[in-house]
């Protein structure tokens, strides 16, 4: 990792100075005091299902499919019926299988409720660490960090949480994000990566936290 400021690729960037971290999040919080997931849901189960379906798919695409899905009893649909509902989503066959099995386990072992423990969540088919982190954070208010491709990029490019793997970035974020911002921080970082800190050309010229980021050269438009 380079120690100078000629940071041109995300994994080149030096760690963000500690004194920058609090104002970095304070700026994001001031612009969006109550960030929310862009996935649509009304129950914890609907959130779990939406996150399970969202792998390698956009939130917009998932929302289009689940608007038709949630009013229907999934188990009553059967596997083929469920596949028909979500066929516009990438990897829909494997996701349908996982979601159907998850529904059965929730009914048989958890009284139809989504469990609140990481261990029980990760025991559900198709539910990995990232999905469990989203549910624990969004549904239950725990200060977890669901590292997707956007957070991985932002964590490295800004130097906020350098790491070569999603788990390494998650562990760095859990150490470095101030407690006051912990619960909402993953929303801010996702939105920053999704709409401003883009993969191919970061929009530095309209980034509210560019002053705290060592990425060079900053884009100008």
- Peptide bond connecting 217 to the previous residue in cis, omega within 30 degrees of 0: yes
- The alpha-helical segments, DSSP class H, found in 177-217 are 185-195
Instruction: Determine how many CB atoms are found less than 10 A away from the CB of residue 216.
Output: 13
**CA proximity to 218, closest of 12, 19, 7:** 7
Please, what is the Cα angle at 72 between 71 and 78, to 5 degrees?
160
Residue 148 annotated to the active site = yes
If you count them, how many residues does the chain have? 221
Question: Which residue, among 111, 106, 136, has the nearest Cα to 123 in the 3D structure?
Answer: 106
Tokens for 60, please give them.
């917009």
Query: 12, 148, 184, 214: which is the annotated catalytic residue?
Result: 148
The verdict on whether 17 is a catalytic residue reads no
Please pick, among 95, 130, 184, 214, the residue that the annotation labels catalytic.
Answer: 130
Angle, alpha carbons 89-91-95 (nearest 5°): 90
The catalytic residues are 130, 148
């Amino acid at each position: 990792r380079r120690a100078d400021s000629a940071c041109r690729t995300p994994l080149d960037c030096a760690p963000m100075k500690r004194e920058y971290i609090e104002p970095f999040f304070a700026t994001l919080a001031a612009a969006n005091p109550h960030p929310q997931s862009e996935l649509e849901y009304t129950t914890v189960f609907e959130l779990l299902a939406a996150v399970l379906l969202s792998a390698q798919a956009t939130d917009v695409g998932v929302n289009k499919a689940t608007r038709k899905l949630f009013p229907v009893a999934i188990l009553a649909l059967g596997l083929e019926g469920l596949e028909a509902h979500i066929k516009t989503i990438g990897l829909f066959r494997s996701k349908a299988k996982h979601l159907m099995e998850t529904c059965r386990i929730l009914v048989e072992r958890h009284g139809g409720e989504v469990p609140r423990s990481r261990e029980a969540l990760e025991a559900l088919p198709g539910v990995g660490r990232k999905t469990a982190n989203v549910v624990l954070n969004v549904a239950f208010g725990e200060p977890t960090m669901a590292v997707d491709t956007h957070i991985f990029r932002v964590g490295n490019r800004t130097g906020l949480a350098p790491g070569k793997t999603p788990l390494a970035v998650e562990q760095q974020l859990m150490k470095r994000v101030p407690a006051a911002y912990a619960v909402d921080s993953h929303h801010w970082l996702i939105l920053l990566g999704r709409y401003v800190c883009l993969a191919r050309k970061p929009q530095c010229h309209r980034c509210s936290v560019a002053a705290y980021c060592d990425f060079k050269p900053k884009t100008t438009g």
